[in-house]
Amino acid sequence: MNFLTQKIEFPEVSKASKEGLLAIGGDLSVERLILAYKNGIFPWFSSYEPILWWSPNPRFVLFPKQLKVSKSMKQVMRNGDFVVTINKAFEDVINECAKTKRIGQSGTWITQSMMDAYIQLHQLGLAKSVEVWLYDELVGGLYGVDLGNGVFCGESMFAKVSNASKIGFISFIQNTNYKLIDCQVYTEHLESLGAEEIERETFLEYL
Identify the CATH number of the domain in which residue 36 sits: 3.30.70.3550
pLDDT bracket for residue 106 (50, 70, 90) = very low
**Domain assignment present for 178:** yes
Q: Does pLDDT of 135 surpass 60?
A: yes
Q: Is 63 helix (H, G, I), strand (E, B) or coil?
A: coil
Residue % of the chain over a pLDDT of 90:
90
Determine the Cα–Cα distance for residues 173 and 185; give it in Å rounded to an integer.
Answer: 18
Residue 34 belongs to domain spanning: 2-57
Q: Does pLDDT of 175 surpass 70?
A: yes
Stretch (H or E) spanning 180: strand 180-184
53 in the same domain as 77:
no
141 in the same domain as 97:
yes
pLDDT, tens digit (0-9, with 9 covering 90-100), for 107-120: 457 999 999 999 99
Which residue, among 23, 184, 206, 59, has the nearest Cα to 8 in the 3D structure? Answer: 23
Q: Does pLDDT of 128 surpass 70?
A: yes
Instruction: Name the region of 24 (left: φ>0; alpha: ψ -120 to 50; beta: rest).
Output: beta
pLDDT, tens digit (0-9, with 9 covering 90-100), for 70-84: 999 999 999 889 999
**Domain assignment present for 106:** yes
The residue from 57, 78, 97 where one domain ends is 57
pLDDT in the model for residue 100 = 82
78 in the same domain as 43:
no
The residue from 30, 57, 84 where one domain ends is 57
Q: CB of 166 within 8 A of CB of 192?
A: no
Q: How many domains is the chain built from? A: 2
Length of the chain: 207
pLDDT, tens digit (0-9, with 9 covering 90-100), for 39-57: 999 999 988 899 999 999 9
64 in the same domain as 53:
no
Residue % of the chain over a pLDDT of 70:
96
Determine the Cα–Cα distance for residues 13 and 23; give it in Å rounded to an integer.
Answer: 9
120 in the same domain as 43:
no
Mean pLDDT within 145-161: 96
77 in the same domain as 94:
yes
74 in the same domain as 22:
no
What is the average pLDDT value for the chain, to the nearest integer? 94
pLDDT in the model for residue 108 = 59
82 in the same domain as 30:
no
CATH number of the domain to which 107 belongs: 3.40.630.70
**Domain assignment present for 204:** no
| Other beta carbons less than 10 A from residue 192's beta carbon | 11
Determine the Cα–Cα distance for residues 194 and 84; give it in Å rounded to an integer.
Answer: 21
Mean pLDDT within 196-206: 97
116 in the same domain as 22:
no
131 in the same domain as 41:
no
